[in-house]
Amino acid sequence: MQLLLIVFILLGSLLSASELDFEADLLQSLDEVSEIATKTKLNIDDTPSFVTVLHSQKLQKLGIDNVFEALGLVPGVQLKKEKTGVPVVVFRGVTQKGEVKLMIDGVSINNSYRGSIYHYLDFPIEMIKRIEVIRGAGSVLYGSGAISGVINIITQSSDESFKNIVFISGGSYNTTKGGALVSTDIGELKLALDSYYQKNDKIVKVEPNPSPYDGDSDRHLKDYSVGLNLSGKHLSFLGRVKKSDMGNAYGAFGILDEEKNKYNNINTSIFTQLSYKRNFSENNKISALVGYNRYEQQAKSLHPAGIVDADYKEESYFFQTDFISTFLTNNEFLIGAKFESAKTLKSEWSLGSVAITPISNPYLTRKITSIYLNNTYSLNSDTAISAGLRYDSYSDFGDSYSPNLGLVYRFNEFIRVKTLYSHSFRAPSWVELTSNPDLKAESSDSIEAGIIFKQSEQNIFRINFYASKINDMITKPTGTYIQESKNEFYGAELEYIYSLNHQTELNFFASYIDANDNDGDNLADVANILASTSLSYELNSGFTFGSLLKYISSSKRSTTDIRDDMRESFIFDQTLSYSNKNFTLSLVLKDLFNSGVYYALPKNNYEKDFDDSGRRILLNASLEF
C-alpha cells in the first residue's frame, strides 16, 4: 500500500510540472566533464572507466544531507553501518575496510592505520560542489585502496568562481547544523575560507532481549571543519582540519555504553597541500604537489573486562608530480611519480588502568615510491584506446604492479560502447600487519563492459556489466589476520536520466550484485538488488518538489547466524523547497512512511538488528550572496 501511494505521488508530480519553463541547472550534469578517470578533463562517457558525478544543488533538492547519503545514489553502492555506528560504503559488494579511495579536493584521506574513510562521510552536502565517483578499480592513477571505487569530493571553496554562502538547519534528535563560505580576491589571488559545525543528540532505545544488553544506543555526533583555499594563476594552497565526536552505538565490543559523555569515538584529520601547475607549451603541462596529512583517533568503549581506552596518531607527507602531453598526434600521455612517507606517532591501549598490547605497533613506518603512466590514443574519430601501468614499492611489505587497458567506440552520434580491464591492489593496513607481518597486498582483476545511449541531453541510458576477483583477501576468522581466500563479484548497473520538460528531471538506477566467498557462498550483508528513483520538479512560484524512493533487497547473514535473512526495505523521502533569488528554504521528510532502516548485528550480541530509526524531519535554510 505504501509503495502504491509513493507511485501516485511521483506520477502526480510529473503531471503537475508538465508546463514549466527551462532551468539550466537541471541539465548541468547530463553532459558531464570529469577529471577523476584520467586526470584530464574528459566527458564521462568518453573514458573507459565507469564514472558517476553527483551535483550538490540537485542532491539538496532531494533532501540529501551528507556524503554518506549521496553515495547511496551511485549505482552499485550499498550503505551500511557497523555495530559501532561507523558508516561504511560497499562498492559492488566489497565490504572490507580500505577497499575504496576517498579524496577531498584531490587529497587522499585514507590512513595507514586501517585505511579508514568513515570520518569524512558525514561531511555536509552544503559544503560540496560535486562528488565524482569511479565505480570499479582505479589503482593505476590512485594506488592502494582503489580496488572497488574512487571518490573525489570537490568542495565549494575550490570552485574557481567567487561566492559567499551561509546555511543553517535543524530537526529530529536535536539536530543542528550551520556553516559559511566566504571568498574574496587578494591581488591576483583568490581566497576562500569555509567552516561548519553540526551536532545531534540521537539516542535509540534498545528493548530488553535475550542478550544481557539493553538501554540507550548512543548515536550522538559533534563535528566541525575549517577549510582554506588560496589559489593563483600557477600556485595554490589548500588546508583543512576536521574533528568528529561520535557515539559508539551498540559498542565496539557489542556492549552498550553506560554514559553518553564518557564513551565515544573521536577522529581528527588535518591535511595541507601546496600545488604548482603550469602549461609551458600548447601541448605540455606539468603539476607538482607537496602535502602533509595527520590522523588521530581517541576512543573509549566498554569491554567485558572493563573500559578500553585507545589513543592513536599518525602523520604522513607526500610529493607528487604529473606531466601531461599531447605532443604526439592523437595521443594524450600522462606520466607521474609520487613519494610518500608515513609513521606512527602514538599507539597506546589500556584496559582499565592496565596498559595492554596495542593493535597497531607504535613503531611502524612506511615509505612508498610510485611511478605511473597512462596514454589515450585516438585510433580514429570513433575509437579511443587507453592503456596504463603503475609500479608501487612499499617499504613494509613489498612491490605491486597495476596495469589497465580500455576501449571506447562510438557506433554513431547516439551510441558508445566501453570496455575495461584493470588490475588493482590494497596494501595491508598497519593493524593487519601488526597481527601478521607476513601479509602481502590484496589484488584484484576486473573486466567491465558497457553501452551508453544518449539520444539527447534530456534522454540518457547507460548499462554496464562487470566481473571481478579479489585474491589474497585479508580476513580475521579468529584472533589473527590471515590471507587464504578470494572473493568473486559479478553484476550489472543501469542508469536512466530523462527530462520530461525543461524543469523536471527523472533519474533511475538499478544494480544487480552477485558477491561470493571462497566456497561460492553469498557474502553476508550484501544485497543482490539496489534501486533508486528520484524526481525533481519546480513550479513557477519558486517551489521545488524532490521525491526519492530507494529499494534494497534482502541479504544473507553469515553462515554462523541461523536467523532469517535481512529483510528488504523501501524508503521514501520527500523534500519541499522554496527559492527566492539567492535564498532557499527546505523542508525534508526522511523515511516518510516510517519504514525504518536496519543493518545487521551479530547474533551473539543482539537478537534484533541495528535500528537506525525511522521518520525524521529537517528544516534547512541557505543564502548565497
Residue of 175, 179, 153, 181 whose CA lies nearest to 167: 179
Exposed, middle or buried by CB within 10 Å (0-12, 13-18, 19+), for 21?
exposed
The answer to whether 555 touches 90, Cβ cutoff 8 Å, is no
DSSP string, 248-290: -BT-TTS---S-TTTS-EEEEEEEEEEEEEEEEETTEEEEEEE
DSSP H or E run through 576: strand 569-580
Distance CA 419, CA 383 (A): 12
Distance (Å, rounded) from C-alpha 162 to C-alpha 154?
15
Q: Output the pLDDT for position 8.
A: 38
What pLDDT, on a 0 to 100 scale, did the predictor assign at position 4? Answer: 40
Residue ranges for the chain with pLDDT beneath 70: 1-31, 38, 40-41, 210-211
Do 548 and 556 touch, CB atoms closer than 8 A?
A: no
Q: What is the pLDDT of residue 484?
A: 82
* pLDDT tens for each residue of 363-377: 999 999 999 999 999
DSSP per-residue codes, 516-536: E-TTSPBPTT-BSEEEEEEEE
List the domain boundaries for the chain: 2-624
Q: Which helix (H) or strand (E) holds 382?
A: none
* 12, 16, 20, 23 alpha-carbon torsion, rounded to 10°: -40
Cα 40 to chain centroid distance, Å, stands at 21
Residue that the C-alpha cell 580500505 belongs to: 98
Which CATH architecture is the domain 2-624 placed in? Beta Barrel (2.40)
What's the pLDDT at 383?
96
Q: How many helices (H) and strands (E) does the chain have?
A: 5, 36
